Chains A and B, each alone.
Chain A
């Protein structure tokens, strides 16, 4: 923490020194994920082509980024020229007029190449408000060897019932192999994201048309009951404190039979750090009563705050970092498997990429079938977002409701108690915010 502050301080000093020569300095807030770190390393290529622009990075961990960026834009502090934000923030902020519409990204940019589902998640009224840097959905990653040993075959699109049975069959608690690893850690972006997509597959929704929460309905009950039973029977101990990273570590060390999580995990479980790299298979996220939106949709994207005085330079950078040329640049320096996935259709037609990434087909299929507007589901939803509801209050509600789900998983509460409390929490918050009159 202190070191990063020092570093940020040193960077801004450098930036000050640099402004004496250059015309524009862009300050970019970003998240410390692997793909973004790589982008920083390649920034020289951008500044070489644009000598009058300097780039100053502020890199943070996800939660911290969200806190910093939200306070910055809401109080109009104007500290950053480019923000790394997700599909949750973009529609909310665009509607508030906090983001610059991105219609000046240059003639070569090829907006139509962006995967439609991702584009729709980052657009309001047909206008793009943030350019996707990488996109993801969710899918099943499973151990082919364990499936073969148990005499099971993974269907292309399994149901939750199949997954539950299969998980029980391949679990060997004495040998420390757990049939299924799922997110249990509380948080709207942790267990909230996972359980909301699972609930979607049972036809559940967060709010009805009058913004009344629906946790007292049968759909959520079915979701949470299935989840808790399955995890108690076949999950690893301590599941209620496992998030993405914990599950990744468990899967890589060979302790999980199946893991349903973000598609970006695929390159890690088949990479060097994984003990089971050559045994990993992929399948679509399970269906419940429906297969619609049974997996999530997320894109880390670059947006420009409307308060920025350097919009033109910022647009140049955004266009560069999310262009096809950038993809080619990463491929030439680090290999095709390392290019940022999930944003452009052309990448999934590229033979080199398809060869280097065995998970590519599953990824694009999952992303393409997600629908942030939720139009395809049986009951209409008053909000956008697959694994979240894109309203400002959702972060708070999602976190508290996530804690109830985690409590149910840990056995501190029964499923019905957790859902009743979730209903109460959401109703209170929505009443306070004025949605429910």
Chain B
């Protein structure tokens, strides 16, 4: 049992790291908020002037902003859907005692080790390219017009690429959860006459719910900030840019530091709103 004395001592001892962490994260945030209130355009030169909230009103009323917001949410939702459904199916498959299981598992996990830029380049030039790509080759083989992925389905293409990268992670987590499901329970259910589907929906899926929650929480954090795949493939056309890309474009392509800072603050606020709802809705699973 800690005494008042030891508690005070402990506070003193953790103080340096707490202060450092505060400076580490708060200083950039305050600086960003400060910049977001200035007219600060790198190319136009010296005159940095106070503009109040005009950067915010321009950013929020930008038609590109609404599109980017939609794309951000669609991207997160789409990838989550694919990786969780795919992850469960793959997990079930890999859980079967088959020959060469170890190698298959490594193959499934492999995409996770590919860097995002490399993955995007491979998909853009080797897989989805409408002239030289593998998909186009197969389409022509069966006499179909090749699909021009990045022109006609830019957002879907990016979702596919990102999902391909995150599927191994989801599979891994879900497979681990599947392996902790007791065989006896399943056998008991089978003896009671339950079919494969009832076992899946009444035993396996509830058992997986915690693992699914972990996947949703972790993936959402990373998916909100997908950037490399967009930069490499579509360069953020109107139908495929998300909030991080819009901020990048404002800051480093248009050199509008004030506008980009305002965008950054908006992105932080949005991410916190998403995090808040996410923790309330799915985070409950972790309490039990």
Contact = CB atoms under 8 A, between A and B. Distances in A.
Given A96-B45, A392-B255, A406 B58 contact: no
Nearest to B149: A238
B234 interface: yes
A240 B238 CA distance: 12
Interface string A223-267: 000000000000011111100000000100001000000000000
A149 to B, nearest CB: 21
B21 to A, nearest CB: 27
A399 B254 contact: yes
A70 B43 contact: yes
Interface stretch (A49-57, A358-366, A407-415): A407-415
A137 interface: no
A406 to B, nearest CB: 5
B239 interface: yes
A217 B235 CA distance: 28
A213 to B, nearest CB: 15
Contact of B150 (A236, A240, A399, A432): A240
Given A74-B42, A411-B151, A411-B152, A395 B237 contact: no
Question: Among the interface residues A74, A187, A255, which one has the most CB atoms of the partner chain B within 10 A?
Answer: A74
Interface string B238-277: 1101000000011011111001000000000000000000
Interface string B77-116: 0000000000000000000000000000000000000000
A399 B253 contact: yes
A395 B250 CA distance: 10
B255 A433 contact: no
Given A176-B131, A255-B131, A424-B63, A396 B250 contact: yes
Interface string B36-56: 000001111110000000100
A186 B42 contact: no
A315 to B, nearest CB: 24
Question: Among the interface residues B43, B62, B136, B256, which one has the most CB atoms of the partner chain A within 10 A?
Answer: B43
Interface string B127-170: 00111000010000000001011111010000000000000000
Nearest to B42: A74
Given A399-B253, A411-B152, A421-B63, A406 B43 contact: no
Contacts of B41: 392-393, 433
Interface residues of B, number: 39
Given A424-B63, A428-B58, A238 B43 contact: no
Given A74-B42, A74-B45, A241 B234 contact: yes
A104 interface: no
B73 interface: no
Contacts of B149: 238
A306 B199 CA distance: 75
Nearest to B43: A392
Given A238-B131, A241-B151, A74 B238 contact: no
A270 interface: no
Contacts, number: 109
B64 interface: yes
A67 B237 contact: no
A413 B151 CA distance: 11
Contacts of B255: 70-71, 74, 392, 395-396
A400 interface: yes
A interface SS class: helix
**Size bin of chain A's contact surface:** 35 or more
Contacts of A406: 237
A236 B131 contact: yes
Contacts of A425: 63-64
Contacts of B235: 185-187, 241
A243 B189 CA distance: 60
A87 interface: no
Given A70-B255, A432-B58, A410 B237 contact: yes
A1 to B, nearest CB: 8
A227 to B, nearest CB: 15
Contact of A433 (B44, B131, B234): B44
A395 B43 contact: yes
A92 interface: yes
Contact of A395 (B63, B146, B150, B253): B253
A421 B238 CA distance: 11
A396 B146 CA distance: 33
Contacts of B150: 238, 240-241
Nearest to A241: B150
A206 to B, nearest CB: 15
A393 B148 contact: no
Nearest to A432: B58
A272 B54 CA distance: 55
A89 to B, nearest CB: 8
Nearest to B124: A241
Contacts of A421: 63, 238
A380 B149 CA distance: 41
A27 interface: no
B28 to A, nearest CB: 17
A420 B45 CA distance: 30
Contacts of B124: 241
A250 B125 CA distance: 13
B238 A412 contact: yes
A404 interface: yes
B24 to A, nearest CB: 22
A237 B130 contact: yes
B258 to A, nearest CB: 10
A92 B131 contact: no
24 contacts: A67-B252, A70-B255, A74-B45, A75-B42, A96-B45, A96-B46, A98-B45, A176-B131, A238-B129, A238-B130, A238-B151, A241-B233, A392-B43, A393-B41, A395-B253, A399-B249, A399-B253, A407-B237, A409-B151, A410-B237, A412-B239, A413-B238, A424-B63, A425-B63
A-B pairs with the 6 shortest C-beta distances?
A396-B254, A392-B43, A410-B151, A237-B130, A238-B130, A74-B42
Given A396-B254, A433-B41, 17 more contacts: A70-B43, A75-B42, A187-B235, A238-B149, A238-B150, A241-B235, A255-B131, A392-B44, A392-B45, A396-B249, A399-B253, A406-B237, A410-B237, A411-B151, A412-B151, A425-B64, A428-B62
